[in-house]
Structure 1
């Protein structure tokens, strides 16, 4: 894995053991994703849930994101993300937290100076260490919505396997989907709430 573009272009990203349920985003998907996100990256406050190797956040920092907060539950992933941040010189622009995306996420708002995040990326594992299919997208979206972590005009980027079904919280809507083989990348934003009809 390497950084594709920006100040750290071509630099190596260290990975984690293949025994962990971590599947880093492919370079093809990452290139396409950042082509789509290009107008939003510079100066962005980013949240990376199920951060894994930190691949997406590291690419964002290289391309001009202001800061990123990365959350993962695996100690080995946390250690590896710190290694990558130091290696690339991004440590001062990132916060790495060990935590569970499937538990309440309200505490993460403070790391955005209570302003919310411009981009929230979620790439939950497709399978666990026993190769059992997981369904983490729906509870993760629910927790993000309940914690109100999106900044005004912010977006959520959710990477899933094509066979994973999930419900979208009432406060969010999918406005774009890209397909890459067995992978779908969903783009979500806050749903515009229609005004209640006036009572006569």
Structure 2
């Protein structure tokens, strides 16, 4: 059972909406066709939605690399990044989410935004689901729960799946004290760090072999 301080850290970024049960909150879409819309989320262990400030930085990095792209939100949680991409005219988004109740909320949020046609939600282990993509993707968000050793494994599973298009972009968000050395196929093109987290944008360089 996590301590209260740990739970507060994990749930940072969730704003609690009035007239909702304590375990529910919301995150906000910051730009695009759904700008200002609120997504209902669960205040669950390991759920750590990307803050508006980091999200704004990320999508500034991605100007020109979202509209018309096929997107994967590998540890969806609130779906904040994937739905933000849809708001900015991504072609479609696939969400991977382990928790069944959180998966149900993702479906409900897609319905509320009237984006069902452009959303594919798979419930299960992201490391195993990487092989279940039906078409390669252009943009991937990898924001796993902290302190669970999932970052390197996620990148390895994605590369092994062969489901990245040439020059695909990968966004990684992880704890600042974690050492990460990208595989040779990935080139760091943007980077930001704070006391608590590190954010990287990488580009996939497909082998000619």
TM-score range, shorter chain: 0.7 to 0.9
Label 1:40 to 1:193 Cα distance change in 2 as closer, same or farther (>3 A).
same
- Distance in 1 (alpha carbons) for counterparts of 2:104 and 2:45: 13
Return the match for 1:172 from 147, 168, 186. 186
Return the match for 1:35 from 52, 60, 64. 60
Return the match for 1:117 from 120, 133, 137. 137
Return the match for 2:88 from 43, 63, 66. 63
Label 1:193 to 1:83 Cα distance change in 2 as closer, same or farther (>3 A).
closer
Helix, strand or coil at the partner of 2:145: coil
Structure 2 residue aligned with 1:11: 37
Q: Which ranges of structure 2 fall in alignment gaps of 5 or more residues?
A: 1-26
Structure 1 residue aligned with 2:28: 2
Label 1:194 to 1:46 Cα distance change in 2 as closer, same or farther (>3 A).
closer
Equivalenced residue count is: 183
1:149 to partner: Cα distance: 1.7
- Distance in 2 (alpha carbons) for counterparts of 1:101 and 1:170: 22
Label 1:66 to 1:193 Cα distance change in 2 as closer, same or farther (>3 A).
closer
1:27 to partner: Cα distance: 0.6
- Distance in 2 (alpha carbons) for counterparts of 1:71 and 1:194: 29
Return the match for 1:147 from 161, 166, 174. 161
What RMSD over aligned residues (CA atoms) do the two structures have, in Å? 1.8
Return the match for 1:86 from 111, 120, 123. 111
Larger RCO, structure (CA 8 Å, separation 6 or more): 1
Structure 2 residue aligned with 1:130: none
Cα shift readout 1:63-112 (whole Å, capped 9, x = no counterpart): 1111000001110111110111111111111000012123362221x1x3
Cα shift readout 1:130-151 (whole Å, capped 9, x = no counterpart): xxx2221000000001011211
Report the more deviating stretch, 184-193 or 29-38.
184-193
TM-score calculated relative to the size of structure 2: 0.82
- Distance in 2 (alpha carbons) for counterparts of 1:194 and 1:11: 43
TM-score calculated relative to the size of structure 1: 0.85
- Distance in 1 (alpha carbons) for counterparts of 2:181 and 2:168: 20
- Distance in 2 (alpha carbons) for counterparts of 1:4 and 1:143: 30
Return the match for 1:100 from 125, 129, 147. 125
C-alpha contact (below 8 Å) 1:61/1:68 kept by paired residues: yes
Helix, strand or coil at the partner of 1:102: helix
